[in-house]
Amino acid sequence: MRLDLRRYAKPLAESALSVLIGVAVGTLLVILAGYSPVVFFKALFGGAFRSRNAFLDTLSYMVPLTLTAISFAVAARASVFNIGAEGQMYIGALVANAIGVMALPNGAHQVVAILAAFLAGGLWGWIAGILKAKRQVNEVVSTIMLNWLAFYLVNYVATYHLYDPKAPYKTEYVRETARLPELIPRTSLTLDWVLTILIAFLMFFLVWKTSLGYEIRATGINPTAAEYGGVDPSKVISISMFLSGGAGGLAGAFLVLGRFGFITTTLTNILNWGFDGIAVSLVGRNHPIGILFSALFFALLYNGALEVQVATATGGKTGVPIELVLAVMGIIVIAVAVPGLWDMVQERLLLRRKRVEVRGEAAGTVGGE
């Protein structure tokens, strides 16, 4: 139950090696396309540090990445594969936006909007949880379907009810009383960054220090033993999906109350963070502290991607096309995610094998000699 630093040495080394492999493969791609890999990677990894604003913007990218990753991780600890952070985030964003345009006093306004978004996202996640727990509906299928439901629901409400009469392509701005204060004036780094770090530590506390966390982990590793231990696995699965959805909802709320203040009616400004969160979580090994570092890494890449296009444009030559940047980023992300993904796949297979064994044999098992 203690924090053992040695336990983190192996995943850290694996991640570092993976980055190198990703860069090596990416280098080939960049050379093939006729650009200098030195300039390319200097910009990709260094872009975030080119200016104070760029760096602060990078930090603020961490917010949705961390929260959607936590959404994935909490469910993953209970062995539930939540692909639905994306939709849970839409719902959170919509609810935060809807409450944000109401008239409420500063301070209370943010709190109400954030809590409501958490609850709404949580309920959205809980639907998939309860379907899995009670009706054995595969959560991958149900969360993907719920993503689309959320997309069109938010799209509909934004288009017909919440739209800004002066700019109907987007929703009305949330009121100043609902906006999260800027940590540093006139930058995109707002209070939600601090809240996000706190939430990551809260997840650590919840999963490793509370009875509920104990039960979530027990259910995730060995559901039959958890049941023996007095745990109701269906309850734990629905609770963890509620918390998972809540984290997704918060991601949406913070995007609206912090960075943007609105959503476009086709959701373009908040799209895809939920899916990125899956990768962030895998790279961070579904561990909240790992997720914080992994989210920072992803944020650096996102910011660097913009810089790459500028930096590689020399003389009359245009910069690297964004597609190539995304491809290289994709290679790095896949390389980095492989060890974590491999662990998860192995665990799943192991669980299945155990179940087959158990079903097949009543025999007692003896540890290998």
Among 115, 212, 289, 338, binds other proteins (CB under 8 A): 212
Quote the CA–CA distance of 281 and 273 in Å, as a whole number. Answer: 12
Q: Rule CB under 8 A: is residue 34 a binding residue for other proteins?
A: no
Q: Which residues contact 132 (CB under 8 A, 6 or more apart)?
A: 80, 138, 139, 142, 237, 238, 241
Q: Rule CB under 8 A: is residue 2 a binding residue for other proteins?
A: yes
Q: By CB under 8 A, how many residues form the interface with other proteins?
A: 37
Quote the CA–CA distance of 295 and 71 in Å, as a whole number. Answer: 13
Q: Rule CB under 8 A: is residue 234 a binding residue for other proteins?
A: no
Residue nearer to other proteins on the CB measure, 6 or 166? 6
Q: Rule CB under 8 A: is residue 192 a binding residue for other proteins?
A: no
- Cβ-contact 209, 138 below 8 angstroms: no
- Cβ-contact 253, 243 below 8 angstroms: no
Quote the CA–CA distance of 342 and 336 in Å, as a whole number. Answer: 11
Q: Rule CB under 8 A: is residue 364 a binding residue for other proteins?
A: yes
Contact positions with other proteins (CB under 8 A) in 342-361 = 354, 356-361
Among 103, 136, 166, 211, binds other proteins (CB under 8 A): 211
Residue nearer to other proteins on the CB measure, 179 or 217? 217
Among 34, 107, 315, 368, binds other proteins (CB under 8 A): 368
Q: Rule CB under 8 A: is residue 1 a binding residue for other proteins?
A: yes
Q: Which of 86, 120, 51, 28 is nearest to 279 (CA)?
A: 86
DSSP label of 19: H
CA–centroid distance for 290 within its chain: 12
CA angle 174, 175, 178 (to 5 degrees): 85
Q: State the virtual CA torsion across 59, 171, 95, 269 in degrees, nearest 10.
A: -30
How many C-alpha atoms does 151 have within 13 Å on its Cβ side? 17
Among 34, 107, 136, 365, binds other proteins (CB under 8 A): 365
Minimum distance from residue 342 beta carbon to other proteins (Å): 17
Q: Rule CB under 8 A: is residue 218 a binding residue for other proteins?
A: yes
CB atoms within 10 A of CB 3: 9
Quote the CA–CA distance of 262 and 70 in Å, as a whole number. Answer: 23
Residue nearer to other proteins on the CB measure, 116 or 237? 237
Which listed range, 73-81, 224-232, 242-250, 277-285, lies at the site for other proteins (CB under 8 A)? 224-232
Q: Rule CB under 8 A: is residue 103 a binding residue for other proteins?
A: no
Which listed range, 37-45, 55-63, 215-223, 305-313, lies at the site for other proteins (CB under 8 A)? 215-223
Q: Rule CB under 8 A: is residue 210 a binding residue for other proteins?
A: yes
Residue ranges in contact with other proteins by CB under 8 A = 1-2, 4, 209-212, 214-215, 217-218, 221-222, 224-232, 354, 356-369
